[in-house]
Structure 1
Amino acid sequence: MDKQQTPPESELPWMSKPANRSLNHAGYFKLEQFTEVTEKEILNIHGVGPKAIRMLKEVLQERGLSFKQD
């Protein structure tokens, strides 16, 4: 991304700076994107840990969504 572009507005919950930054850097900005990946795939992103997964699962459930099943 060059300096002229602004990143899309993120609808992810606030987790921690490393987790939010890592997910945004990996291209995750919308909750619906997590329905296409497994928890394990997200855990493989540096900076994302079990606490971030728990928080994402809660928000996904509130919207009737879930991670892709293994």
Structure 2
Amino acid sequence: MTVEKNLRVCEKGHKYYKSSECPSCPTCDKAKPKNGFLAKLSSPARNALLHEGIDTLKKLSMYTEKEILTIHGIGPASLPVMRTLLKEEGLSFKE
């Protein structure tokens, strides 16, 4: 079975081919931040949060764990890391 890949162009103009609806650009994915909470997350989780506009722990704390898990690219393995990062800043997921 051959999977058809479609040409995509990200917001920054990078061209890439993807077979899924995942919006992450492979070129942008390589630009891992050197510090901040996003640097401690996997590339798919980081890109998923950024795609949703979640770029600070304060913004992350406005969501429940269940809501975060519905975002494409974030799995249960990311939650303990996020919980720890939130706790270090005196924050937590929304109840």
* TM-score, structure 2 as length reference: 0.59
Is there any run of 5+ residues in structure 2 with no aligned partner, and where? 1-10, 13-32
Aligned-pair identity in percent equals: 41
Alignment deviations for residues 35-69 of structure 1 (CA, whole Å, 9 cap, x no partner): 21100000000110112111010010011100000
Query: More relative contact order in 1 or in 2 (CA 8 Å, sep 6+)?
Result: 1
Bigger radius of gyration among the two: 2
Corresponding residue of 1:32: 58
Q: Hey, which of these two has a bigger chunk of helix by percent?
A: 1
Q: Equivalent residue of 2:77, what SS?
A: helix
Paired with 2:45 and 2:61, the residues of 1 have a C-alpha distance of: 18
Taking only aligned residues, the RMSD between alpha carbons, in angstroms, comes to 2.2
Is there any run of 5+ residues in structure 1 with no aligned partner, and where? 4-8
Paired with 1:38 and 1:68, the residues of 2 have a C-alpha distance of: 5
